[in-house]
Amino acid sequence: MTTGASTPTYPARPRRSRLRTFLPLGIATWLVLEIWLLTVVADAASGLAVIVLLVAGFLAGSAVVKRAGRRAFRSLTETLQQQGGGAASGVEAGRNEGNSFLMLGGLLLMLPGVVSDVVGLVLLVPPVQKALGRYTERAFERKLREAGAGGLGDAYTRARIHRPDGKVVPGEVIRDAAPGSADEPRDARPPLGY
């Protein structure tokens, strides 16, 4: 059965971002490198040395994650007690940022492998944490500026109102009568059995 309506034409698929293109290749390369380095260590020392290295990395990483979690929880409770649930001060925000890098470093230490252990240990160094914190803050602010004057929430709203055919439908729904009022037609209300 045809209705005479034309089928909608959809715009061409957008190009994949570089991150989505190269991320699987990067993960595969990282895994192969980790396995190769573990075999090199096993050849140089022994299989027992590799097992000790992996267990030591896991234990050290879990201790770091536990410590960072305790610091984050303590900071949260102090902030809630001091400000009654308000925003954190600059010092506490810096401590929370350091906690996130401590947590990431601990998680990387927990992963089996030599490269992840080295990167995890580098993330535990405070000057590296501060430099990475400044970099991520600048990158986040740049992304917010690119999103427009309305900020991130406005960008989200603009992204939601795009239709699949590429047309933008701005607007809002206005009701003359509130749902359930006497002005609303009786048959528009759902039956009570639902």
Query: Is the four-CA dihedral 153, 159, 162, 163 of positive or negative sign?
Result: negative
In the block, residue with structure tokens 């009654």: 84
Separation between Cα atoms, residue 90 and residue 84, nearest integer Å: 16
9 phi, psi to nearest 5 deg: -100, 130
Q: What is the DSSP string of 152-170?
A: HHHHHHHHHTB-TTS-B--
Q: What is the mean pLDDT of residues 173-185?
A: 61
Answer with the residue of higher pLDDT: 86 or 52: 52
Return the pLDDT at 157: 58
**Percent of the chain residues past pLDDT 70, beyond the cut:** 61
- Res 93 pLDDT > 80: no
- pTM exceeding 0.85: no
